[in-house]
Chain A
Amino acid sequence: MSDNHHHDHPTGIKRWLFTTNHKDIGTLYLWFSFIMLLIGGAFAMVIRAELMYPGMQIVDPNFFNMMTTMHGLVMVFGAIMPSTVGLANWCIPMMIGAPDMALPRMNNWSFWILPFAATMLVAPMFMGGHFMSGQGPAFGWTFYEPLSGQNDKLAFFVFAVHLLGISSIMGSINIIATILNMRAPGMTLMKMPMFVWTWLITAFLLIAVMPVLAGAVTMMLTDKYFGTSFFNAAGGGDPVLFQHVFWFFGHPEVYIMILPAFGIVSQIIPTFARKKLFGYASMVYATAAIAFLSFIVWAHHMFTVGMPVAGELYFTYATVMIAVPTAVKVFNWTATMWKGAMTFETPMLWAIAFVILFTIGGFTGLMLGVATSDFQYQDTYFVVAHFHYVLVTGALFAIIGAVYYWLPKWTGHMYDEKLSKLHFWMSTISVNVLFFPQHFLGLEGMPRRIPDYNPMFADWNFVSSIGGFVFGASQILFLFIVIKTIRGGAKATSQVWEGAEGLEWTVASPAPYHTFENPPAIK
């Protein structure tokens, strides 16, 4: 093989520890995020088990709070974010005709920080005597002060977040440098695949807001250990300031998780509709508009905090405005399918489910953006249902779709179509059984983050828990399918999918260790 003659690479553990290859690093990211998905999922199973019946049966309230907190943190920072970085690593160089990422050594480092950060994040759960008496974060993934300041192992959390932030920032710098400098000659910005565009914008969002998060946790750290009073009212500080700083990070963070998913779906749908993406330019502008708006709507997460009425009005108007570019995207996907010649291989199923279910999450997002009625929704299960529709049937569904879409390119084998369809249908049905009833619970008045509830909420909680267990089990099937595909299966062609267009489909399957050492010609 011509691509092996001058870049011999080590094998075994050293290959993975010292690798600077974008494909290896992409694989590491993806496996890491899948392990985190299973851990975060296990926490969710504890939550649903406790909530299956009214009354306290399994865990004490402190442990329950630790589960909701760790579930959120692990899924956001451990599963969703690294998995999209993994996809970016694997695919962006191939999609733009580059031989590798622009900064390969930094790439290695930005991944290898993650396992240590994750370990630091979960470590306090196992401190302080036996397992059940863990002292891990139990203050919600939003870690509002002053509650988070009561945690005795806060420093672990703070430094874990710092490490995660450093990793994200380095990953983003790398992605921006790669996209801006390493495109094959002739690939202008407006010729880039949508996935590349959405990641370019995501990377800028990350660079803008991760330092804000770092600032927030550093202030927490000095408040706790060095006697400052940034957020401590008794010392003249301001607990609401924490929320403003947090959500100035937190709202763009939502789009950091969903924009790459938009990109994935914009790759998959045209492939299986055998028709070019409708409104490419407006897709790019809509993505940029969403990213811009994400910076100026943060306080809609805090409508009950006691803002002046002018503030409540402004944040309502700005928030509902996001519906415009988001609607444009949904219309464009619909128009792409319209009069196409569709087939329904597994990636397409996930993408269609994404469009429909993400839109439901978008609708509830619009409802939540209206301050007056948000006073009833705020901090209830309605919010929980909303953001799980956006992040599970939105981001996670797109990511799973992406794995099926590119798995033949990565492994050289086709996945088992029957099993993967079973995985899809089990997941899609159970996820709706899991989250749709949570809308009803919230509207009926069930607050979020409570370990026990009045029996009037019992029926829907039971239904939701059953959905949760099936959804959790379905992801074990996903693991099995992926391993089966790695080990064997029908040989994949270079193009893999009949309607696939783009540079990554011009190289062999599995993609050789080094691709595009000589830039391809762009039409």
Chain B
Amino acid sequence: MSVTKTTKILRSLFAAALLCGPALAMAGLNMHRGVTVNSHDMYDLHMLVLWICVVAGIAVFGVIIYSLINHRKSKGVTPATFHESTTVEVIWTVIPFVILVSIAVPTTTSLLRYEDMSNTDIDIKATGWQWKWEYEYIGDKITDSNGVKFFSQLDKESNDARQLKSNVDVTKIDHYLLNVDNPLVVPVGKKVRILTTGKDVIHAWWVPELGVKRDAIPGFINESQFKVEQADWDKVQKDGEAIFRGQCAELCGKDHGFMPIVVKVVSEDKYKAWVSAQKSAAAASAVDSGKVWTKDELIKHGAEVYAKNCAACHQPGGEGMGPFPALKGSKIAKGPIAGHINIVVKGKPGTAMAPFGAMLNDADIAAVITYERNSWGNDMGDMAQPSQIKAAR
């Protein structure tokens, strides 16, 4: 008997008696069944074990409650004197063991299915950074997406609202904390392999509906796979796309709660169109880094880059916070520009200061350095050009 079948029988048995069976799914109290074989397996096994626990709980608690009501001194009972029984003790050791075997069998089959990484259609590397995800398409049997690479982080609206005492009504925000600027895009009906790794500390890539959770660990590349079946997708898609949301699941420092994951599962045509759009955007950004900028242009663009990448730790006014140093009046922002460029491009190992050279293009880095050197009373008056950044890499 399959797990699903067992679960269904168990469910129908107890749903009537308890009334809570159907309510579990409706009131949003339970795990979601999701849209992949992984998530279905997880849900079915979850329900199987849950119902075993419910039955065991009713049995044991029933006996305890019966005893509490009837075997009390106030009822004038004299206590029995028995205090052991080998038969009973053997029986209640064997029964749990048999139940455990019945759990172990479906666990084994589903686990082997989950860890089957053969015949994938698209391989995507997901790198966890403090606190954003970097996606890189590294193998694709559908279209030539190799080299498509981008960062994905909390969208601006959520990010502004989540600042301490922002006084924004977060219930009004679209998918508060579960929206990103650049979602991951994959086609429906294809087996996608996600290769996770960590840049700085350990993160975990988790999208509940896809049934994938895997740690992203520096120095390791972990693999996991999912495939959204056409039939499941048809039920949830709108205009040729279905969106699934998740969050980083491993504590990764200050903004661990603010690095969501959004996966857009689209039709194959839409996927191909998206890939070519990504490629032309990459070409445009290369042009930016080739030209010479004026100081005003740099400061204006730098303010945007700063707000998106730096303000979370160093704070919007550059005053820093806790373990994150101030930039206002800092030795580096007011020191030689080469040192400033170096720390932004290469980061500071062993701290949350990431090597932004791997994340931002030359123009972005030049702009943000210029902005930092000419803001909050740091009046250095100098500027950095993209060419200097390129040389410092």
Contact = CB atoms under 8 A, between A and B. Distances in A.
Q: Do chains A and B interact in one complex?
A: yes
Interface of A: 54-57, 59-63, 65, 128, 132-135, 138-140, 144, 146-147, 149-152, 224, 233-234, 237-240, 273-282, 304-306, 309, 312-313, 316-317, 320-321, 323-324, 327-328, 330-331, 334-344, 352, 355-356, 359-360, 363-364, 366-367, 370-373, 375-376, 378-380, 440, 443-445, 447-456, 458
Contacts of B213: 304, 375-376, 378-379
A302 to B, nearest CB: 8
A376 B85 CA distance: 41
Given A146-B201, A280-B84, A367-B50, A323 B96 contact: yes
Given A61-B258, A367-B49, A448-B251, 16 more contacts: A54-B176, A60-B164, A63-B322, A146-B201, A328-B93, A331-B60, A335-B88, A342-B72, A356-B61, A372-B111, A375-B114, A376-B31, A379-B213, A445-B32, A445-B246, A454-B176
A453 B177 contact: yes
A497 to B, nearest CB: 12
Contacts of A237: 219
B208 to A, nearest CB: 5
Given A337-B71, A363-B56, A316 B323 contact: no
B257 A452 contact: yes
A261 B204 CA distance: 34
B103 A320 contact: yes
B222 interface: yes
Interface string B61-79: 1011001100111100111
Given A327-B92, A330-B60, A331-B92, A65 B32 contact: no
Contact of A447 (B31, B110, B175, B247): B247
Nearest to A58: B164
Q: Give the 3 A-B residue pairs with the shortest CB-CB distance, closest first.
A: A233-B219, A450-B257, A306-B222
18 contacts: A61-B258, A139-B253, A234-B218, A239-B198, A313-B108, A324-B96, A327-B96, A334-B63, A336-B83, A338-B80, A371-B107, A375-B211, A376-B42, A376-B43, A378-B249, A449-B256, A450-B257, A452-B177
Interface stretch (B9-17, B142-150, B346-354): B346-354
A290 to B, nearest CB: 13
A304 B68 contact: no
A356 B220 CA distance: 42
Interface stretch (B166-174, B276-284, B327-335, B373-381): B166-174
Nearest to B100: A320
A445 B202 contact: no
B64 A337 contact: yes
A178 B253 CA distance: 45
Given A312-B111, A328-B89, A56 B29 contact: no
B71 A340 contact: yes
A372 B220 contact: no
Given A135-B323, A234-B218, A279 B84 contact: yes
A446 B154 CA distance: 17
B115 interface: yes
B200 interface: yes
Contact of B214 (A149, A306, A330, A455): A306
Contact of A372 (B41, B64, B202, B218): B41
Contacts of B30: 440, 443-444
Given A334-B63, A375-B114, A449 B251 contact: yes
Interface string B261-274: 00000000000000
B68 A342 contact: yes
A397 B111 CA distance: 37
Interface of B: 28-32, 38-39, 41-43, 45-46, 49-50, 53, 56-57, 60-61, 63-64, 67-68, 71-74, 77-85, 88-89, 92-93, 96-97, 100, 103-104, 107-108, 110-112, 114-115, 161-166, 168-171, 175-178, 198, 200-202, 204, 206, 208, 211-215, 217-220, 222-223, 246-258, 321-324, 349-352
A444 B29 CA distance: 6
**Candidate in B38, B41, B67, B169 with the most chain A CB atoms within 10 angstroms:** B67
Contacts of A276: 81, 83
A356 B251 contact: no
Contacts of B217: 233, 239-240, 305-306
Given A150-B351, A453-B257, A234 B219 contact: yes
Contact of A316 (B61, B111, B248): B111
Given A339-B71, A376-B211, A321 B170 contact: no
Contacts of B169: 55
Nearest to B250: A379
Given A312-B111, A367-B46, A355 B254 contact: no
B29 A373 contact: no
B92 A447 contact: no
A281 B350 contact: no
Contact of A128 (B32, B61, B164, B323): B323
Contacts of B61: 356, 359
B373 to A, nearest CB: 24
Nearest to A323: B96
